[in-house]
Amino acid sequence: MIKSCKSTYLILIYACFFIPKIWSQDTIASQVSTWYKLEYDDLSKKFTALKKDTLLYKNYVTVFLKKAKSRKDTIQQCNGYYIAGLISSEPNAIKYADSIINLTKEKKNFIYPAQGYLLKARNLGRLERYTESLDELIKANHYASKNGNLDQKNKVIFFIGILKTNIGELEDSLNQFKSTTEYYKSKFKEDYKYKNDYLKSLLLLNNGYIRVKKYDSAYLYIRKGMNLSVKLNDSIYYGYFLLSSGITHYYKKKYQSGLDSIFKFKNLFVNKIQDGNIAIADLYLGKIYYEINETEKAIQYLEKVDSISTTKLRSCYELLLKIYRDKNNTGKQVEYIDKILKVDSIINKNYAYLYKNIETKYTTPNLLLEKEQIINSLKTNKRKNKSIIMLLIVLLILVISILFYNNHRKKIYKQRFLKIYNEHNLNTFSNKELNKNYQNIGIPKDVTESILNKLEEFEKNKEYLNSGLTITELAKNFNTNPRYLSKVVNVFKEKSFSNYINDLRINYAIEELKQNHKFRKYTIKAIAHEIGFKSAEVFSKSFYKKTGIYPSFFLKELEKNENTNYQYFKSRDS
């Protein structure tokens, strides 16, 4: 009985990589009827002899399960469910895996229930339900460790590597694939039945090197894989290595070599079952044609991509969006924004609880994988196409409003500039308030007149340009006190002392800029220091407060005005 179970299990390994997912309803009843008379070993031999594209797989499973159930043979039922899981769509495969687990989770068996958990984990991963897939791998690892089943433990390592790739832990996943490649290499040397495991490990290892941008290492394992595929007369894996070669050429910017390899892959698969690798081939053909500026060909291949992992599908849609944005095709832009949002919603759902770091000690017999150490909440806001469009409309209205506002403000600034430009002698001392009743301000008349006279001299001598000027220092120079000086300035200049000084400096700057071409070449910072301000920022704010425009605008308009006058007179002279 044990021998029969082991031989059947070998068939399961063989079947793992070569069973199509799509069934035909056609059967060959005459051949099937003879199978009911065969024992398990003979049935297994019949199954091994079936070609990978045969229509008899489903019938084989039906016969196998019927015989096992009639004999109440739990392990053979599990073997049948496992084969059924391999040849079924993902949802049905998960049901078969659950049947295996329910039958054997209380039994002590070298193969089950770990094999059921592995089957379930793989199909959950294909559906991109990564958190659930990880849960099943944890359970599979527990039973594989308990039974000392190294093949199953390496399957766990293998699938964890794929899981890490999907969540972006590329260096860790590369280490996983290195480990499984070495294991299956040694097993393949011992037993030919491990050829598919070894080939697949080589394939994922070179893809891992591609992802971490170690292209020379990727080439090394691509060549190993291709040579082994030729030696084993395996056109399927030879094609997969051709595709990897084309992708590597793309990243190395060897675009013609990339096209050659990918088209060779597609020619090999032209009459074979369609799978995600065809879509990947079309994706990279689109990317290559885009890079060599053959945009229409790029679109042709990119728009064919529809059965591929969500992350790769997003990169496809992003490139199409970029192409149609360059073409100003708004309809297509909206279409691919919508598709990107749909892909994002799937990614957000699938990665919501997946932790970014996964423990790597899977080969230790006493390993205890903890889900809590792996899963982390990575929730992101779901975006909808409608909200994007509304946002674009709001942004458009905002841009138009800003343009209108800036244009309106520019007209106002222009008017303010012309008013300043046409004013003369801004710093001429004048005092319209000399007839005020001096007694009302609480300072003796002679003191007030003295301060006003000294302020007139102060302005004429441009002493306000001194950057260290303070009211205390100026009061001392006027032989008075700061309170009297501040009061006189408040009443007769109708502004605070600091505003009075700043206004004098701004008026001076305006006159200098209008008359002195050399001064006009200074930077804003240099002008500020030249007229007594401590910083360009304070100068700009004071200039705006005084004139309603900034000094940078004044300078620009001043140059434009001078150039206009120059061109006018030049045209008259000619």
The 3-state DSSP class for residue 383 equals: coil
DSSP, res 151: H
Residue 372 pLDDT: 36
Backbone angles phi, psi at 80, to 5 degrees: -65, -45
Query: What total number of domains does the chain contain?
Result: 2
SS (H, E, C) 280-349: HHHHHHHHHHHHCCCHHHHHHHHCCCCCCCHHHHHHHHHHHHHHHHHCCCHHHHHHHHHHHHHHHHHHHH
pLDDT tens per residue across span 323-355: 988 888 888 888 888 887 777 666 665 554 443
Task: Answer yes or no: are the C-beta atoms of 75 and 83 closer than 8 Å.
Answer: no
Contacts of 41 (CB under 8 A, 6+ apart): 4, 7, 8
Residue 352 pLDDT: 44
Q: Specify if 408 maps to a domain.
A: no
Residue 367 pLDDT: 31
Q: Specify if 312 maps to a domain.
A: yes
Residue ranges, the chain, pLDDT below 70 = 1-57, 59-60, 167, 271-275, 306-312, 344-387, 404, 406-408, 410, 424-439, 562-574
Q: Specify if 506 maps to a domain.
A: yes
Last residue of a domain, one of 350, 380, 400: 350
Assess whether 442 and 346 both reside in one domain: no
* Percent of the chain scoring above 90 in pLDDT: 8
Burial 228-252 (b: 16+ CB within 10 A, else e): bbeebebebbbbbbbbbbbbbbbee
In which domain, by residue range, is 330 found?
A: 273-350
Q: Specify if 488 maps to a domain.
A: yes
E-assigned strand segments in 348-462: none
The 3-state DSSP class for residue 354 equals: strand
Residue 257 pLDDT: 92
Structure tokens at 342: 């749909």
Q: Specify if 256 maps to a domain.
A: no
Residue 493 sits in a domain whose CATH number is 1.10.10.60
Last residue of a domain, one of 295, 315, 350: 350
Q: Within 13 A of 362's CA, how many CA atoms are on the CB side?
A: 30
Q: Specify if 462 maps to a domain.
A: yes
What's the first-to-final CA gap in the chain, in angstroms?
Answer: 114
Q: Specify if 110 maps to a domain.
A: no
Residue type, 91: P
Assess whether 446 and 568 both reside in one domain: yes
Last residue of a domain, one of 292, 315, 350: 350
Residue 321 sits in a domain whose CATH number is 1.25.40
Residue 369 pLDDT: 37
Residue 44 pLDDT: 66
Residue 358 pLDDT: 35
Residue 51 pLDDT: 52
Backbone angles phi, psi at 316, to 5 degrees: -65, -50
Q: Specify if 471 maps to a domain.
A: yes
pLDDT tens per residue across span 414-441: 777 777 777 755 555 455 445 455 557 7
- DSSP notation for 475-518: HHHTTS-HHHHHHHHHHHS-S-HHHHHHHHHHHHHHHHHHH-HH
Q: What is the rounded distance in angstroms from the CA atom of residue 475 to the CA atom of residue 225?
A: 93
